[in-house]
Chains A and B, each alone.
Chain A
């Protein structure tokens, strides 16, 4: 039980660390601006993939979303960034 709590804390810390990458970007950078304009779920999905190296399935588990929905959110987020930053 104690180990589960510790694992959950570590996981939570890791998630915060990964998601903080966006905050660490230069505030004036286009990527910071465009990521900030995304829906939070899309932004989190992209950061978990790029920064955390997680798979679609792992991201779905962490965001507590169905796998298909997660893939769809990430694809839409990537598409939005491509269009904005082209």
Chain B
């Protein structure tokens, strides 16, 4: 693949439309790390087609949904029915993962940090995972049933858990997308590693802190429903998956 002034606009368009194969996509993404002209062309292309993404219709959440979620969070251990939907066992795991009441693990983790760099890296991930989320986005389907929960921990870490019983064929993958800003356009947050859960760090983050020191001042620009897509690069199937209802917790 050749990247020069003549080919970059065309390649950027084909990338944004999902017409490159996986090898071409990877080559382009590597090149974009060091090629500002390519990054600019990709951003311009994403901006050009963004109105198509915005034609999706948002889904209203059932009345009282957020009150029930908050009640469930404050209860701690209790499982809370949401919108009439039955939560999968993973819902209970979500609450437990955010429970910081267990004493001892912090001390153990700090000791591990001193022990080795590898453990320090692992601990950083662990702290992010077990902290209270600053923002939770509950993704619903057209019937208002809970499909997944995105948790943003306000420290450059977030995770998504699928709660719905989604069967992913062996040759398919589930990919999560976000829309950090209209300038940036839709950005893939990556594939769900085990088909149900994914944690990530990075600059294309769902939650943008308005003030870094204020945990409650955080907003979720837009998160799109994770989609099952072929295990090849055809990522622009962005319609029919609006669904997000961002919620400030604190």
B13 touching A78, Cβ below 8 Å? yes
B19 touching A51, Cβ below 8 Å? no
A78: chain B residues at CB < 8 Å are: 10, 13-14, 17
Within 8 A of A (CB), among B101-150: none
Within 8 A of A (CB), among B47-65: 48-49, 51-52, 55
Q: How far is the CB of A52 from chain B (nearest CB, A)?
A: 6
- Nearest to A75 among chain B residues (CB) is B10
A50 touching B10, Cβ below 8 Å? no
- Nearest to A53 among chain B residues (CB) is B237
Within 8 A of A (CB), among B1-55: 9-10, 13-14, 16-19, 45, 48-49, 51-52, 55
> B204 contacts the other chain (Cβ, under 8 Å)?
no
> B159 contacts the other chain (Cβ, under 8 Å)?
no
- Nearest to B237 among chain A residues (CB) is A53
> B69 contacts the other chain (Cβ, under 8 Å)?
no
Q: Report how far A75 CA is from B13 CA in the complex, Å.
A: 9
- A29 touches which one: B14, B51, B232, B238 (CB < 8 A)? B51
How many contacts between A and B, using CB within 8 angstroms? 63
The tally of residues in A whose CB lies under 8 Å from a CB in B reads 27
Instruction: Tell me if A's interface is mostly helix, strand, loop or mixed.
Output: helix
Q: Report how far A63 CA is from B18 CA in the complex, Å.
A: 18
Q: Report how far A49 CA is from B148 CA in the complex, Å.
A: 27
B18: chain A residues at CB < 8 Å are: 49-50, 53, 55
Q: B13, B14, B45, B238: which has the most chain A beta carbons within 10 Å?
A: B13
Q: Report how far A56 CA is from B240 CA in the complex, Å.
A: 22
B17 touching A50, Cβ below 8 Å? yes
Q: Report how far A68 CA is from B57 CA in the complex, Å.
A: 35
On A, residues with C-beta under 8 Å from B are 17-18, 21-22, 24-26, 29, 31-32, 46-47, 49-56, 74-75, 78-79, 81-82, 85
Q: A49-B19, A50-B17 are in contact. List 19 more A-B contacts (CB 8 A).
A: A17-B240, A21-B55, A25-B51, A25-B52, A26-B51, A29-B51, A31-B51, A32-B51, A49-B17, A49-B236, A50-B16, A50-B236, A51-B237, A54-B234, A55-B18, A55-B19, A78-B14, A79-B10, A82-B48
